[in-house]
Structures are given as structure tokens and as C-alpha cells.
């Protein structure tokens, strides 16, 4: 096992060597690994959580962004390899759902390994995505307005011009990952899947969210929560309680 503190791609806020299962979390566009930092306290003690940190944010602020979601997924898959000595599962929110899905497919192609479970949240299935609204090239004022509508960026950040100018290049690069992503057909994954979504999420069509079930040959369930695109914040308590319960249910399979 590599020293976890030496990997800039995967952060472990609460290392747990005795864990039976590893949960790797993939953040949304414009987000960072830090959004997951207080999750371990709400998860079963048998689970160790690692949060993916993409370039261009946090301690990687000065690093160039990776252009293209598929090349990025291959890099993440390689960085995860030292930590796959235990059963593992992926959770991804929005952009993170697409990235964890493609990372799982990359692992299957390169190593014939797959997660024990895939949790995908708040994004349409890769083969059923509606025409992507082009956000990466919007003028600053229009992009900030859109971020207000998503309700996932703190208001104090959106009102701070200096902080915005620091963050917007990364937000634009992340939106570009979504906009340029093209799904390539492959056989479905074998791992079970759970689909999470917000009941008032106007960015994601319910039928296209449910279509994730076609991406696996395993059992698939869908769970909806009060709230919009960032229900993971507005319904945080019930969401984390549900995720913890779903992770506990995996134990007999791992």
C-alpha cells in the first residue's frame, strides 16, 4: 500500500486501515475533494472514504486542467490502483457521476476489475443525455447567474469578484469536460448500481436519470430526495443516512 498522504489525486480525510470497504467519491463541476471531508463521520465505521481531487483546485490550484473526460478517467483509474486491495465502490455527483462511470469502465478494460457498487447522482445517463447547454464559454455575468441557479456554490463566493476570478477557469474547464464528453458504447458493467437524484432538479430529466439502469447488468435501484441539483446539501442528513444504509447493505456482497 502506498503512503496515502503522498497521492495528490486521492485524499483520505480520515484514514481507516481496518476498513473492510473503500468508498471513492468524485466531485461535481467546480467542486473539490473538500466537499466530502465531513462525510466519514456519517458513514459506517467499516468504510474508508477517499475523495478524488482533480487538478486546478485546492492544493492543486496551480496545476493545468486535463482536457477531455475520457483521458481524465484513465489517469484516475491508474492513480486508484494502489488502493484497490480491498473491495471498493464509487460515488459520483453530476460531472463526478460521469467520471466515476468512465473510471470504472477504464479499470475494467485495463485490469478486468470493477467496483463492488456504483452510486451515480444528479446527472442523466451517459447514452441518454439531452443536448448539453454550453456553459463553459458564457460571459462572466451569465455564468455567475447560472451558478446561482444551480445553488451549489456559496453565495459569498459568487459575490466575491477576486475569488470568482480565481475559481472561474476551473469551473469553465469542468463544464467543458461535460460538454465535450461523448459516450462510446461498451457492454454494460456487471456491478450493481444505485441512482440518486433530487425531486426538484430541473437540470436532469427523470427518465434520463433512470436510464442509468441500462448501464449495468447488475441490480439497479433509484432513490429520490427533496431538493434540486444539490440535494446532497439541502437534504444532507437524510441523504447521508441513506448512503450509509446502502453501504451497510453491501457488506455481505463484499
Say how far apart CA 108 and CA 21 lie, in whole Å. Answer: 19
H or E element at residue 170:
helix 161-180
Say how far apart CA 6 and CA 9 lie, in whole Å. Answer: 9
Using an 8 Å Cβ cutoff, are 173 and 56 in contact? Answer: yes
H or E element at residue 89:
strand 88-93
Beta bridge partners of residue 90, listed in sequence order = 24, 118
For the chain, first and last CA: distance in Å? 20
6 is annotated as an active-site residue? no
Say how far apart CA 84 and CA 222 lie, in whole Å. Answer: 26
Residue of 32, 94, 106, 121 marked active site: 94
Using an 8 Å Cβ cutoff, are 204 and 229 in contact? Answer: yes
Hey, which residues are catalytic here? 94
Amino acid at each position: 500500500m502506498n503512503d496515502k498522504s503522498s497521492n495528490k489525486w486521492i485524499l483520505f480525510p480520515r484514514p481507516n486501515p481496518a476498513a473492510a470497504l473503500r468508498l471513492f467519491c468524485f466531485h461535481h463541476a467546480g467542486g473539490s475533494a473538500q466537499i466530502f471531508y465531513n462525510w466519514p463521520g456519517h458513514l459506517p465505521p467499516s468504510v474508508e472514504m477517499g475523495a478524488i481531487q482533480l487538478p486546478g483546485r485546492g492544493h492543486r490550484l496551480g496545476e493545468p486542467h486535463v482536457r477531455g473526460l475520457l483521458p481524465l478517467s484513465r489517469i484516475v483509474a491508474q492513480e486508484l490502483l494502489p488502493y484497490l486491495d480491498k473491495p471498493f465502490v464509487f460515488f459520483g455527483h453530476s460531472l463526478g457521476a460521469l467520471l466515476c462511470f468512465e473510471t470504472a469502465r477504464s479499470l475494467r478494460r485495463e485490469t478486468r476489475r470493477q467496483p463492488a457498487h456504483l452510486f451515480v447522482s444528479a446527472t442523466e445517463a451517459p447514452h441518454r443525455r439531452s443536448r448539453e447547454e454550453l456553459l463553459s464559454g458564457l460571459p462572466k455575468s451569465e455564468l455567475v447567474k447560472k451558478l446561482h441557479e444551480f445553488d451549489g456554490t456559496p453565495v459569498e463566493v459568487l459575490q466575491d469578484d477576486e475569488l470568482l476570478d480565481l475559481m472561474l477557469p476551473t469551473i469553465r474547464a469542468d463544464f467543458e469536460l461535460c460538454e465535450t464528453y461523448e459516450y462510446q458504447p461498451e457492454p454494460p458493467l456487471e456491478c450493481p448500481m444505485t441512482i440518486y437524484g433530487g425531486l426538484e432538479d430541473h437540470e436532469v430529466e427523470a427518465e434520463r436519470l433512470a436510464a442509468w439502469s441500462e448501464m449495468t447488468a447488475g441490480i439497479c435501484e433509484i432513490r429520490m430526495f427533496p431538493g434540486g441539483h444539490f440535494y446532497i446539501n439541502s437534504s444532507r442528513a437524510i441523504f447521508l443516512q441513506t448512503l450509509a444504509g446502502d453501504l451497510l447493505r453491501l457488506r455481505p456482497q463484499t
